[in-house]
Every structure is written in structure tokens, then in C-alpha cells.
Chains A and B, each alone.
Chain A
Amino acid sequence: MSASWYIKNGRIIDPANDIDRIADLLVIDGRIVGTDQPAPADVPEIDAHGLWVVPGLIDMHVHLREPGEEYKEDIVSGARAAAAGGFTGVACMPNTRPVNDCAAVTAMIVARAAEAAVRVYPVGAISLGCEGKRLAEFGEMRHAGIVAVSDDGRPVRDSQLMRRALEYASDFGLPVISHSEEAALSTGVMHEGPVSTRLGLKGIPAAAEAIMVYREIALAELTGARVHIAHVSTAMAIELIRAAKGRGVRVSAETAPHYFTLTDEAVLGYDTNTKMNPPLRSASDREAIRQALADGTLDAIATDHAPHSILEKEVEFDWAANGIIGLETALPLTLALVRDRVIAERRLVELLATAPASILGLASGTLSPGAAADITVIDPQRQFVYAADQVVSKSRNSPFLDQSLQGRAVLTMVDGTIRHSLLV
């Protein structure tokens, strides 16, 4: 397959190079040559008229379930879903079975990723088995290919362990990604508020997140190390992050599309595809998140793609597994923020490509000359129904199923090779 393309007449949006204009983009042998180049003979053209041409999107927070739970997803199927959603790279969390807490598991993931449609960046565990007791070998895992460490899904309770993780990870240039929830306050199944009271479901207060976010900020301040807060869901946490950034603490943060799209009202009806951790919050939390995406308090959008089968989801709400898939809906849900004038087009690209690449220290996230041709072409108008039989992921646990969505990736290219295309 050709790895050379002349992408014509697209709106090129590349925040890293401060570009936002209609232009042509030349790719030769899987590398970006640049804009405004003459069209060489024999290089196939892609007509991007009316489309956006942006750096390949990076999802810095997914669960690919391999090894161990391949009936939900595996590296190849998850990467296919990523390509369909416009992502050219995904960072996969370590809470697999076994946990990615040593170089051997990292190496296995890297080997499997060679067959995947997009780049897969493993995240190593902070602690052995994500049990919160002993540090995993960050150095060995770094050599094997991890880009960050996290005990995502099992917040680190022990503050001393977290402090040491921050210090030690900084020796290897690894960001520490924190799932910030205070365990004793997080035994519920949805956001604590009037809706949980109405439904008779046990709540998780916003304070559970804020308490732990503040601990991470305090530890980052103490150690001078870099911390990244995963899936921020509350206004309280945003206030803390905003203040910390204001005084120069090395903290970055992401949120997920469901937190800026839905509220806890979506749980009315007990749909287990509205159950995730942290939970869907109140309308004022959602508003604070939208504001924080616009003003830079939140750096990135990540999906927390968490595939589960009906075995985990067609059960009582209390007993259902947490999490929803997100790779194929993140882009249209973020484009809705652009249509709602919450963020501009350029900010969308920063949130979905530039910033996640920068936080994880990846070379991608830019259309700079010489960079690998990881490119996403977006049709911001294109309508589609996210029907169950159209889902590319192995799992279908999404609250957005059967909804009509607007805007999607029509072409996803990795190293100049097309991994997904809806262009005829």
C-alpha cells in the first residue's frame, strides 16, 4: 500500500505549528513533507475539500483488556475501534490480567501491538498488581516501552507510596497518572445527589475526587514531580487544579467526553451503560468541565474506553461493572462542544492530539515536516447513527448507542498508511 499522499484543499489545523488554513499537505513514504508543496507526479491525491486535516488524535486513556479479558476487547480490536474513531495512538491502562507491572507484560503488549491498526502505548502499573503496596519496576518497563505509570481503577491509598512513585517516576521522565478517588467515600454506584436519592442508589460524593486531587497536587508540590489527573469529573477538582497551575505546580489533567456531555440524570432508568467510575456528575459539574476545557485548566480529552460484555452489564445496577466504550464517539461529542461554541476548532485539536502527545512525551501530535504521517481527516458535518451493529469495538456498552451523532473521522492514517477510510 502506498505511503505517499497529496491531501488537497483541506483545512489544516496544527496547533503545534500555529497553522489553521486551507492548504495541501504532502506525505512521502510515511513522513510529512509539509504544506504548500507542488503535487508530485505519481503520488495519489486525497480530496479533503470541506474537511479538516489534523494531527492523528491520541487517546491517552483506554482499556484494551488484553491480556486476560479478550472476550471484552483485545489489542487488535481496540486499535481498530480507535482507527474508526480517528485515533492514531492510544495509551492502554495496566489493569489487565495479569497487570502490566513488569517488563515481560509490557513486552507482550508491544509485540501484540505490532499487528494493531494504530500505535499502542502501554502504561505501566505504579504498584505490583495495582495492589498499592510495592512499587513496580518503572525503569525496566520504561525500556520495554511504557509511556507513563498508573494504578487506574484502583486509586493509590497510601500517600507515602504515591510520593515515592512521583519521585521515582521522575527519574525516568514518566508522568504518573492518578485515578483520584478517596476509597472510603467511593463505595457508591453513582454521583451522590438528588438523583441518587430518588433512585435509592448509593452515592459517591464529589468530595471523594476533590480530596484525592488535592493530595496529588500537594505531593507534586512536595516532590517537584509531574502528576496527571485522570478523568476529572467535578467542579471542586477543577478549582483545585486551576489554583495549582496558577502557582506553578506540575499538574496536568484530562476529562472524558461523557463528563462534558451527560449528567447524573442519565442514570434515571437504571441503564448500566450510565455507570462508570468516577460517576456522571451534576449539571453544574458538567458546566465547570466545559469551562475548564475552554480555559486550559483541563489539558486533554481522553475516553477511558472501558469495554464490558453483557455479562458485566445486563445485571442489577449495583452489581454492574463500571465503564463505557468511547473510542468511536469521542470525536463527535467533542465536535458538539465546537458547535456549542464552548471551544474553537484549534482547541479541539489541542485537547485530542497536541496535549496528550505532549503529556506522554510522544513525537506525534503534530504535522511538522519530517514527522511520521499520523493524520486524521475529519468531516465535521457528517451525520451518523451509532447503531449497535456498526460498533467496531468488541463490546457495545455505550450510553450513546442508537443516537444520531454529527461529525466523524473519515480517514485515519498511521505512518502514511490508511487504517480507516470512509472516503470513496
Chain B
Amino acid sequence: MASGSTFAHRHILGLEQLSREDISHILATADSFKEISTRSIKKVPTLRGHTIINLFFEPSTRTRLSFEVAAKRMSADTFNISPSTSSTTKGETLADTARNISAMHPDIIIIRHACSGAPLLLSRCVKAAVINAGDGAHEHPSQGLLDLMTVKERRTTLSGLKIALIGDIAHSRVARSDIIGFTRMGSAVHVYGPSTLIPKGIDQLGATLCTSLEEAVRDADVVMTLRIQHERQNDPLLPSLREYARQFGISGRILSLAKPDALVMHPGPVNRGVELPPEVADGPQSVILDQVTNGVAVRMALLYLVMGTS
């Protein structure tokens, strides 16, 4: 098991704050934890007596479950709360909620929130370690890390690869964490999608903006697709999902432009037949379920490492 002694981060708010060494350390730790999930008794006492609160302001099935499975396999006590808040409900503010939770002395708070920057606000109001489980269109660091882990397992290295990131970059926190993570580890991220879903200045995050799907996918080591929501608050982003599938979906023909053993990835949930046709999503190159498995290991590592800094 890797040592937590060289890990200096109290909170995991984004990959932006993590160095290449930090990321390698997290991935090595996750790798060592992965085996626990294959045992018949899937539990180690590492975080026994620690209290972990899942504070999910936005609906989430898989990320919340993954964090909860990770925590329970480390023997932590977990509690899930899903406060309903919005800008209009005159309820408790995030700061108030945070101070109340903090008064119960939790060790780690995992937060999912629709507003970018909410985990940072939380971290300023509590004594516990804060892990961002996705904030607005900002970051989703544990997803970025599990994507790195999945690619590293199959490619053995994270440097010198071509990652094609396809779809809704504008509204995707996964896109930002992936761009930061893969570029920091020495790979090139090529992004492509309809112009309505490409935000200004994405190249300044380190990505290369492509002008066609073929250009993005050609000779790629990884084809990462992002989930599409074709309507957002009356913003006419796309005419239809049908058209998206035909113009921007990863067909077998498009995938054949990538390296023969290129990995097909998706943070889920997949709109089957939209971002990926079923034969690609379930095909031999798909590692979508590996991503889910690795998610538990990465989250175990994060819980372990932030506790090591307390």
C-alpha cells in the first residue's frame, strides 16, 4: 500500500491544484487499493471510526454510490444527505448547512453541486476535508482521475498519447478535469464537437481544438465521448439528438480512424445511439465498465490520502 506521507492536499477541489507527482501518487495508491474489491471479504479497517458525509445537492446515482462503496470498503461510517436548494428557495444557505455539518465533526465531506465553485465555498466553512464530486461545469476530479487510471492500465503510460475528447465541452466538468489531467501527465487532448458546445478559450486550458471529427479521432489512443443534453434553459444548442448522432456520433467508421487498439470511453450515463451506437459502446474497444470499477479504487485512494493529511 502506498504511503500517504507525501500527499499535501487537505481538499480535493480539482485536478487544477494537483501536480503531476500528486496525480501519479493518487493513481499508484488507487492501484494498490483495487485488489480489495476483488476479495471475498471486501473490507479493510483503514478508515474505521471516520465519518464521511455525502452532501449531494444534485441528483447522482453512480458517483454517489461509488463514493459510498469506496468509503464502506475502508470501514468508514457514511451518511448521505441530499438537501434541496436553489437560488429561489429561501432555505438554509450552503454556508449555513456547512457550518451545521461541521459542528458534528465529520472527517470528510463529499460534495456534488450544480454551481461551479461551491466545493471551494464549502471548504472555507468547515474543518473537514472536502472532496469535490462534481461542481457545475467546473471540475469532477475523481472522474478525471479514474479516466487517467483506466488509460494507464491499458497503455502503461500516460505520456505521449493522443486523447480525442468529443461532444459537449461547454457544459462538462469531466471535460475540464480530463483536459487538465491528461495534459498534465504529458498527453495531448484534441477536442471536437458542435461549435455551440465548444467554450471560448478552451485551448488555454491546454487542449487542441479540431475542425473535424476525423481530425480529432485520427490515430487517437483514446476516444472519450461526453454526454449530450440537447436542451438547456431554452438555449438552442442543437437541433436534435438525431442530427447529433449522425454528425458527431462515434460510428464504427469514425472509430476505425483511431489506432486499432484505441480505447472507447464515456463518463456515463451513455445516451445509447447518440454519442455512441450500441455496437461501439459495447464493443471490444470499450472500457466504460473498467472506468466504473476504477472509480471505486480512485475514490478509496482519495479518502485515504486526504485523511493522511489531517
- Of chain A, the residue at the smallest CB distance from B202 is A197
Q: Which residues of A contact B114 (CB under 8 A)?
A: 318
Question: A314 CA to B98 CA in the complex, in Å?
Answer: 12
- Cross-chain contact A200 with B176 (CB below 8 angstroms): yes
B contact set with A: CB distance below 8 Å: 87, 93-95, 113-118, 120-121, 135-139, 173, 176, 199-202, 204-205, 233
Question: Interface size (A, Cβ < 8 Å)?
Answer: 22
Question: A170 CA to B118 CA in the complex, in Å?
Answer: 48
Given A197-B205, A270-B121, verify A316-B139 contact (CB < 8 Å): no
Given A187-B233, A318-B136, verify A197-B200 contact (CB < 8 Å): yes
- Of chain B, the residue at the smallest CB distance from A319 is B87
- Of chain B, the residue at the smallest CB distance from A203 is B200
Least CB distance from A311 to B in Å reads 8
Q: Which residues of A contact B121 (CB under 8 A)?
A: 270, 315-316
Q: Which residues of B contact A318 (CB under 8 A)?
A: 87, 114-116, 136
Q: Which residues of B contact A202 (CB under 8 A)?
A: 137
A contact set with B: CB distance below 8 Å: 187, 192-203, 269-270, 311, 314-319
- Of chain B, the residue at the smallest CB distance from A318 is B115
Question: A193 CA to B116 CA in the complex, in Å?
Answer: 16
User: What's the A-B contact tally at a CB cutoff of 8 Å?
Assistant: 69
Question: A207 CA to B95 CA in the complex, in Å?
Answer: 35
Select one of B138, B204, B233 contacting A199, CB under 8 A.
Answer: B138
- Cross-chain contact A198 with B204 (CB below 8 angstroms): yes
Least CB distance from B244 to A in Å reads 21
- Of chain B, the residue at the smallest CB distance from A195 is B201
Least CB distance from A284 to B in Å reads 13
- Cross-chain contact B120 with A200 (CB below 8 angstroms): no
Q: Which residues of B contact A314 (CB under 8 A)?
A: 93, 95
Closest 8 A/B residue pairs (Cβ)? A194-B201, A200-B138, A270-B117, A200-B137, A316-B115, A200-B116, A319-B87, A197-B199
Select one of A187, A194, A311 contacting B204, CB under 8 A.
Answer: A194
Least CB distance from B162 to A in Å reads 22
- Cross-chain contact A201 with B233 (CB below 8 angstroms): no
Select one of B116, B139, B200 contacting A317, CB under 8 A.
Answer: B116
Given A196-B199, A196-B200, A270-B121, verify A201-B116 contact (CB < 8 Å): yes
- Cross-chain contact B205 with A198 (CB below 8 angstroms): yes
Question: A193 CA to B121 CA in the complex, in Å?
Answer: 23
Q: Which residues of A contact B199 (CB under 8 A)?
A: 196-197, 203
